[in-house]
Amino acid sequence: MPNLNYGVPQDVPQRVPQDVPQDDLDAKILALIKKDNKISTEKLGMALGVSYKTIRRHIKAMGNVHYIGRGFSGHWEIHDKS
């Protein structure tokens, strides 16, 4: 049987749950970033049981969380929504 997963990393989460409450997810993302401001979106996703794309989408929608810098040398900053 041929391998049809061309170029797909093997550590990509499969069967990601779709029933995570959205407001609760935002609060959990903020709590994890406050605990470790250098955490990656991939690690956030693994910790919360969702994909890294879901994490990125939520962070973008929240509007008060920004990544400063680039790659491993950067960090997250949380700003007040006022």
Which residues 6+ apart lie within 8 Å of 72 measured at CB? Answer: 38
DSSP state of 72: G
Query: Is 0.75 topped by the overall pTM?
Result: no
- CATH topology classification for 22-78: Arc Repressor Mutant, subunit A (1.10.10)
Q: Is the torsion defined by CA of 3, 7, 54, 33 positive or negative?
A: positive
Q: Name the β-bridge partners of 77.
A: 66
Output 15 or 29, whichever has higher pLDDT. 29
The one-letter amino acid code at 9 reads P
Helix (H, G, I), strand (E, B) or coil at 2: coil
Q: Where are the domains of the chain?
A: 22-78
User: 21-78, pLDDT tens digit by residue?
Assistant: 566 899 999 999 999 999 999 999 999 999 999 999 999 999 999 999 988 889 999 9
What pLDDT score does 72 carry? 84
- Which residue has 């979106």 as its token pair? 41
